[in-house]
Amino acid sequence: MMARTGRRPGNADTRQQIVDVARAQFAEQGYDAVSLRAVARGAGVDPALIHHYFDGKSGLFAEVLQLPLDPATVLPAVLSGDLDRLGERLLRFFLELWESPETGPRMRAAVRAALSSEQASARLGDFVVREVLGRLADRLGSDRALLRATLTGTQLIGLAVVRYLVQAGPLRQASIEQIVAAVAPTLQRYLTGRLPTDRTDTAEQG
């Protein structure tokens, strides 16, 4: 048997301890404010051990919230490739996540949990802005890229709410191809299309 020391050795208990500390810190301070260093300190482990178990802060957060995947791991593949087809690629990837018997139930649970309270919404919101919308905006590299990415996010989450959470109306039965045909142009317009500038508004906001 190993002797106990101040710093916990790497084993299953330690991994769980890291997750528990991270859950508490994320809940209290929000995604952006938590550092892996602070989590390591709270768990009494070396920061390197967190990197051994988790793929960075986003991976640790995905684990804490039991998200079905870590955007940092999967997004690069979706974002690479033709910008002119990015709307359709994002949509298909998103729909597959919700359709899959493996990831779908966890997506539903995560979104229901995230929308259950203001605090939970803000917690997931920070993460999504940083790790999903931020990455998408970086890929666009255009004017108002984060606004474009966020508008894209509104259409995707609204589609998920109606088709997978509320399961209302004709969208429940619609096929993936019907949805792609109807919705991909919306996403593509938000991503790379003309985004009208409102002059009144710019003037008002100085």
Binding positions for its own copies, rule: CB under 8 A: 111-112, 114-117, 121-122, 124-126, 128-129, 133, 144, 146-147, 149-151, 153-159, 161-163, 165-171, 174-175, 177-178, 180-183, 185-186, 189-190, 195-198, 200-201, 204-205
**Nearer Cβ to its own copies, position 74 or 166?**
166
**Nearer Cβ to its own copies, position 101 or 170?**
170
**Nearer Cβ to its own copies, position 11 or 167?**
167
**Nearer Cβ to its own copies, position 48 or 182?**
182
Quote the least distance from Cβ 115 to its own copies, whole Å. Answer: 5
Quote the least distance from Cβ 176 to its own copies, whole Å. Answer: 8
**Nearer Cβ to its own copies, position 76 or 185?**
185
**Nearer Cβ to its own copies, position 9 or 169?**
169
Quote the least distance from Cβ 131 to its own copies, whole Å. Answer: 12
Quote the least distance from Cβ 38 to its own copies, whole Å. Answer: 23
Q: Is 88 exposed, middle or buried (0-12, 13-18, 19+ CB in 10 A)?
A: middle
Give alpha helix (H) positions in the chain: 12-29, 36-43, 47-53, 56-64, 71-79, 86-99, 104-115, 118-128, 134-140, 145-160, 176-192, 199-205
Quote the least distance from Cβ 194 to its own copies, whole Å. Answer: 9
Picking from 57, 53, 59, 67, the residue whose alpha carbon sits closest to that of residue 36 is 57
The C-alpha atoms of residue 7 and residue 41 are separated, in whole angstroms, by: 10
Structure tokens at 25: 């810190």
136-150 in b/e form (b: 16+ CB < 10 A) is bbebbeeeebeebbb
The C-alpha atoms of residue 65 and residue 77 are separated, in whole angstroms, by: 23
Quote the least distance from Cβ 109 to its own copies, whole Å. Answer: 11
The C-alpha atoms of residue 191 and residue 155 are separated, in whole angstroms, by: 12
